[in-house]
Structure 1
């Protein structure tokens, strides 16, 4: 090469580099580029979605630290439109796997929020999703050492809780004062509910049961950190010890909830001092309690054999009460016609208890191998139904499948049918994700968007992870990751629905702990409810389209509240995905 040609080449290269930098730096953030705002594992399937009615051509990845383009690709138009009729374009950069921090750039359109690629990309999010339960603790100070800027005084010692007239008995008449400390605040309010604690506790203990080695090493920076018990189980114990106090020792029945008569105002917990009550025993609460205590007997036995005995006895006593009282439904409106004060807090009224019997029988059978419990399961419906607080059948079936090696008395064909139904459901969600505009199983059916739709996405993810565990088929794992992508920003609103994680996150959740301290950012690690076209709160929403029906306003308990039964499946999803990446299975 002549000196003249070499100079032309060098000058051309410098000009191209300067032009590229100028092009990249001139691009403005465009929220039409929807992406997981945290990032991806190096070898993960990596996709962003662009909403555009115009042609989208090439795109590139910009290395933020090294200020250079490191990958280029071509957008592919999706065959599916969004629920609002928008055109979607897929940007696939799965072939790029170098660790770093990046933005997507699209000439003449803009750039994305920044994101990372590295092998621990979800580690801090996983911790935060569990640390959120610490922030929900009742009856204790949260010191700065563990709570940081969200340190606060103790609220609700719950040592002066009264028996509500609906819960009165001969040995515990109306007005009897009892103690029931600890536990977690249920959601954006300060009450404590057995039914919702049930699925929450079952989900968290199941998470530990599947990935015990991962959690043996995880440090959540809570007061119990460093003892002999994994932090996730220490946090579970805080609520478990409260749940024990909700059982009447005289007969084994369990009170539905511990609550004020009406919701407290938007004040800090230590200023919320209205009288609290034990309200009405019920079959749903008692069976959920039995399931949780039986599972706890199994999970905590290596750490506290004596505690496991207590939990199992409590579970069996609750089961016996339910056998004698199989149809005591919690019907708040009916109770309020008879008993005063009226109770107007969360009802969690469930009028079909078939699934509660299955869950409780499953957990008790695993621990005891008593055929009394198998008799309930032998003829039970085995069709797949996604878990929720009012549908817990598959909480029991998941546990049976995880423990099948120790269940020799259960016919193999019965367990095989469970697996067939689970895999069929997982296949359905996986296929839905392949043809959905945002490339995730979530939203494949508009009916996914209900109150707590982000928990639907999380529980779909758990199903897919269970299918992966049973089959080893990586398509299921990828679909679970796609639902995490959905939660973290690749969705119709562009929000990362987890407080404190991502660049566009909920700033004003319906959460008394946050609303009462407006000088602070929202507590981190909480999954908000997500799009809900029913809009029961009558707040101002930007859209009625199912997947766009979300508003970041603290009045929006229908789309922007937090809840323990939503955080638990999200914690399962994100921690399980990180554990699989770390351990390779």
Structure 2
């Protein structure tokens, strides 16, 4: 059995709710040997490279201006057997399956990054690429949402896919497509796709009003579908259960979608939904110290906190304020846990060099998500009408402290760590060369035009000790272990596989951390167009 299938089974088996219990360790500074490295980091370059990664993950017919030239067209018959066009979208990681739930989360986080930091991204000359990365996903979601209560949630089968090591251009594995509908509901994937399309509608509102409207229409239908016909998606798309099961249930996705629809439309009905269902769907009862493609409560709680901070603009009623304050309390628990400012054993562990460490498997996804939420909340505090702070059991901290911790995590990713390794592939002189990725680890179809068979890929490419022939620029790999140790080995998929949802949140972090440009802070008129 091929490694990354076991990886995802094990990874997700660890994601049960009991694993959300966290352990306290002292807050440690980055190793002194890394401070000089941190001072020389180029966030603009990191931003540019992080956006390039998404082009390497594209499925479908690639555009004429495709920059990742070692990739080619793939999955051109997706959906054909089911009589639907499902060509396009993204592969989630180093394999060739299109998993709907993590793909939608990826697009939500890319859209949130642009919604908050569109001005910074534009100042770096990367707005076009950011919008293209989002649209590649939302174009696919439009295709996949074939009827109001039908969404195609996955293409491909993880079990058969993981038995082969093939470039996506050579796939011989199953391209069976799987859907949810009224009789086979899947509230998580319906609501997350609604959130992605609503968030993207915010992004495209000023630059492509018609497309924004189309996205909003789909988002509203999908939210209604996911709410009215409730059910766990992996109970009905069983092939997803071993790879991306929903362990937190669908409550977080429904609240997440409602708050994104409120931000996109200003419709008070969506805020009312988030308030009235806050307790039932655990938005105000769960204090979580993890943010991921599966568990979104921290993101929900921070979005709700923003509404509370803008209460004068939203003209909130007293009962709404009370519930939103409960949301904010839980948001503060998450943020304080990342700062090691909670009491007892309620803080996220750290490695000796200060990296947040949630769990062994693909830990960088949690680091990237935490850095983004810390940066965003820092800006929400700084932008509030009255001076505000984050209140933790061990004291209060201001916006600058939050941003400082976000920066420390991003800097670690970029090489300010004891090993001096950048976990953003292609950035700096030292980065992983043996990323666990079928296409990157095999000769490009343009170099080796002959077909690479299922087992042939293992024999000729997977087991090679040399570095990958193609550099997966912008990918954020799983990262080091709890001792800050990393082994650059294609077979150590725990550390060397990258995922789209690792890179998506850190796009916004790099944008936020860029230095001032020509005396501006990068958040002028362009950003205001993207904010709601």
TM exceeds 0.5?
yes
| Aligned counterpart, 2:16 | none
Q: State how far apart, in whole Å, the 2-side matches of 1:378 and 1:555 are.
A: 48
Q: State how far apart, in whole Å, the 2-side matches of 1:456 and 1:328 are.
A: 23
* Matching residue within 448, 453, 456 for 2:363: 453
Q: Deviations over 1:286-316 (max 9, x none)?
A: 1111112222222222122222222222122
The structural deviation recorded for 1:479 is: 1.1
Is 1:91 the counterpart of 2:35? The answer is no
| Aligned counterpart, 2:50 | 129
The structural deviation recorded for 1:398 is: 3.5
What is the CA RMSD across the aligned residues, in angstroms? 3.4
Is 1:317 the counterpart of 2:231? The answer is no
Task: Indicate the SS of the match to 2:154.
Answer: strand
Is 1:157 the counterpart of 2:76? The answer is yes
Task: Indicate the SS of the match to 2:483.
Answer: helix
Distance 1:142 1:554, change over 3 A: farther
Q: State how far apart, in whole Å, the 1-side matches of 2:249 and 2:291 are.
A: 14
Distance 1:379 1:260, change over 3 A: closer
Distance 1:205 1:401, change over 3 A: farther
Which structure dedicates a bigger proportion of its chain to strand?
A: 1
Is 1:578 the counterpart of 2:514? The answer is yes
Contact preservation (8 Å) 2:190, 2:222: yes
For structure 2, the 5+ residue unaligned runs are 1-24, 181-185, 342-346, 383-398, 444-466, 524-532
Distance 1:491 1:458, change over 3 A: same
How many residues are treated as equivalent by the alignment? 434
Q: State how far apart, in whole Å, the 1-side matches of 2:151 and 2:209 are.
A: 24
Task: Indicate the SS of the match to 2:261.
Answer: helix
Q: State how far apart, in whole Å, the 1-side matches of 2:380 and 2:100 are.
A: 31
| Aligned counterpart, 2:67 | 147
| Aligned counterpart, 1:297 | 201
The structural deviation recorded for 1:92 is: 8.1
What TM-score results when the alignment is normalised by the length of structure 2?
0.72
Distance 1:431 1:387, change over 3 A: closer
Task: Indicate the SS of the match to 1:276.
Answer: coil
| Aligned counterpart, 2:167 | 268
Q: State how far apart, in whole Å, the 1-side matches of 2:34 and 2:171 are.
A: 51
Matches within 5 A, 1:190-339: 190-220=96-126, 230-249=128-147, 251-260=148-157, 262-263=160-161, 265-281=164-180, 282-331=186-235, 335=238
Q: State how far apart, in whole Å, the 2-side matches of 1:271 and 1:322 are.
A: 35
Q: State how far apart, in whole Å, the 1-side matches of 2:271 and 2:479 are.
A: 37
Q: State how far apart, in whole Å, the 2-side matches of 1:417 and 1:258 are.
A: 39
* Matching residue within 539, 543, 566 for 2:502: 566
Contact preservation (8 Å) 1:185, 1:192: yes
Please say which of residues 240-249 and 386-395 is displaced more in the overlay: 386-395
Distance 1:329 1:116, change over 3 A: closer
| Aligned counterpart, 2:431 | 505
* Matching residue within 327, 349, 355 for 2:252: 355
The structural deviation recorded for 1:195 is: 0.6
Contact preservation (8 Å) 1:207, 1:576: no
* Matching residue within 354, 357, 361 for 1:440: 354
| Aligned counterpart, 2:302 | 398
Larger RCO, structure (CA 8 Å, separation 6 or more) = 2
Please identify the structure whose Cα radius of gyration is greater. 1
The structural deviation recorded for 1:575 is: 2.1
Contact preservation (8 Å) 2:340, 2:348: yes
Task: Indicate the SS of the match to 1:184.
Answer: coil
Contact preservation (8 Å) 2:134, 2:200: no
The structural deviation recorded for 1:202 is: 1.2
Contact preservation (8 Å) 1:211, 1:579: no
* Matching residue within 244, 264, 269 for 1:371: 269
What TM-score results when the alignment is normalised by the length of structure 1?
0.66
Q: State how far apart, in whole Å, the 2-side matches of 1:575 and 1:142 are.
A: 26
Which structure dedicates a bigger proportion of its chain to helix?
A: 2
Contact preservation (8 Å) 1:290, 1:314: yes
| Aligned counterpart, 1:176 | 82
| Aligned counterpart, 1:554 | 490
Task: Indicate the SS of the match to 2:509.
Answer: helix
Q: Deviations over 1:99-151 (max 9, x none)?
A: xxxxx7xxxxxxxxxx4845x722111110111112211223476x7536x43
Please say which of residues 366-375 and 461-470 is displaced more in the overlay: 366-375
Distance 1:475 1:512, change over 3 A: same
The structural deviation recorded for 1:416 is: 4.0
